[in-house]
Amino acid sequence: MGSNRSSFTGKIGFVLAAAGSAVGLGNIWRFPYLAAKYGGGIFLLVYIVLSVTFGFALMVAEIAIGRKTQLSAISAYGSLDKRFSFVGVLGALVPVIILPYYSVIGGWVMKYMVGFAAGHTSQMAEDSYFGNYLGLTWEPVLWFLLFIGITAVVVMLGVEKGVEKVSKVMMPILIGLILVIVIYTLVTMDGAWDGVVYYLKPDFSKFSMMTVVAAMGQLFYSMSLAMGIMITFGSYIKKDISIEKSVKQIEIFDTGVAFLAGLMIIPAVFAFSGGNEEALGQGPGLMFVTLPKIFEAMPGGAFIGAAFFVMVLFAALTSSISLMETVVSIFMDKLKWGRKLSTLAVLGTSLVLGLCSSLGYSVWAEVRIIGMQLLDFFDFFSNSLLMPVVALATAIFIGYVLKPKTVIEEVELSGPFKQKKLFAVVIRYVAPACILVILISSILTAFGVFKI
């Protein structure tokens, strides 16, 4: 089965492909709103600490399992130990849940791209614009349909490579634009530096269990962990590629982009609202409310705004394509369906769940599941419940069944594994303990004991 797997060309090919899947709306849309909501500096600190310990160990483990078994996640766990087949199945469920609401946000991005291109900058900069737009009911649904439609066509035709190539060109431009926006905000806007302090200086009084829950969920989400995707990537890489180095590069790149996105949004929120808590705690709409205000203030803002959202759109599309491809290939492998039929099936489930997420802001605005709007609920369910369960099972599996040695040996095929002690300790003790606490907090949150 393993013999005809395609493989990445060269070392940098793998890192770029993994980084391309990792960098997306998670970095640009999700990270800043969580950092704003959960205390700024303290969130950033917790995130970075988790990323170099926990994220590092989990990503190394997943890639090593993939390379060792030469299988995709859903089969990899079962092939190593029958009792752990369920982990592959749960992991496979994650992209099924993420893809629909990811595409709803992708639709928002398209709408904003077109809005700036049409020069509607000042309307879009109004406080009520985003909320009113969501309330329009059908327009956001149409943009969602377009976004998921493009994703499905690309997956069905199997032309991901083309999009990836474009996206590689867009990535540096995106980073350049983010830098321009950061510098412009910091230089010209009153109050922006208070935002920098809020973002960079940890305020320990703002620490709560929810900070850790949110940071860990974000880590899984942003680095595409705990859903089998890195296992599949691992199955494509050659034995002489250093897993440890690659993981470090992917982490630095992914965290770097998220960090800059936070620096682009949070100071601007302070400048426009005087740092008021309500503006910081807005949630998923934060970027869509804040950025238009910056673009309105900037010379040439409509053009920069349109260009910015084009780049974000490409980053989002590479991620949504890879999310859909993951699910489609599972259908193809497991059910032996053809590519077309599998894509249509995935499209079908995504339409239903995506429609719920989008309408959750308009006709179903009153609907709450465990106190959350529908989109937030799907996000919470996958990131704060399913992914921790998958990660916990993975840590126990590697730490106690396979033993860390198995992963270490796989990593050492390409040279010494410098942080193998850290790896073993994290995967056996730190990760299971942390995730267990996280899971309990998430469950208590779901039952309303903690406030989100």
Interface contacts to ligand TRP, rule CB under 6 A? 21-22, 24-27, 95, 98, 221-222, 224, 227, 229, 319, 322-323, 326
CB of 160 vs ligand TRP, minimal distance in Å: 11
CB of 27 vs ligand TRP, minimal distance in Å: 5
Residue closer to ligand TRP, measured from CB, 17 or 189: 17
Residue closer to ligand TRP, measured from CB, 36 or 302: 36
Residue closer to ligand TRP, measured from CB, 32 or 275: 32
Residue with smallest beta-carbon separation from ligand TRP: 26
Which residues, at least 6 apart from 385, have a Cβ–Cβ distance to it below 8 Å?
439, 442, 443, 446
Pair 181, 264: CB distance under 8 Å: yes
Q: How far apart are CA 29 and CA 180, in angstroms?
A: 18
Residue closer to ligand TRP, measured from CB, 210 or 321: 321
CB of 121 vs ligand TRP, minimal distance in Å: 26
Secondary structure of 224-247 in HEC code, one letter for each residue: CCCCCHHHHHHHCCCCCCCHHHHH
CB of 441 vs ligand TRP, minimal distance in Å: 22
Number of residues that make up the chain: 452
CB of 277 vs ligand TRP, minimal distance in Å: 26
CB of 295 vs ligand TRP, minimal distance in Å: 22
Which residues, at least 6 apart from 448, have a Cβ–Cβ distance to it below 8 Å?
370, 371
Pair 370, 448: CB distance under 8 Å: yes
Alpha carbon distances (Å) from 220 to 24, 56, 259, 443: 13, 11, 16, 18
Residue closer to ligand TRP, measured from CB, 98 or 215: 98
201: left (phi over 0), alpha (psi -120 to 50) or beta: beta
Residue closer to ligand TRP, measured from CB, 184 or 253: 253
Q: CA 48: distance to chain centroid?
A: 15
Residue closer to ligand TRP, measured from CB, 229 or 396: 229
Q: Is the dihedral of CA 246, 247, 252, 257 positive or negative?
A: positive
Residue closer to ligand TRP, measured from CB, 8 or 364: 8
Return the ∠ at Cα 29 (arms to 172 and 18), rounded to 5°.
50
Structure token digits, residue 224: 């595409």
CB of 72 vs ligand TRP, minimal distance in Å: 13
Residue closer to ligand TRP, measured from CB, 383 or 419: 383
CB of 272 vs ligand TRP, minimal distance in Å: 25
Q: How far apart are CA 17 and CA 172, in angstroms?
A: 15
Is residue 437 classed as helix, strand or coil in its secondary structure?
helix
Return the ∠ at Cα 284 (arms to 372 and 154), rounded to 5°.
110
Rg (CA), the chain: 21
CB of 25 vs ligand TRP, minimal distance in Å: 4
Q: Which H helix or E strand runs over 131? A: helix 129-135
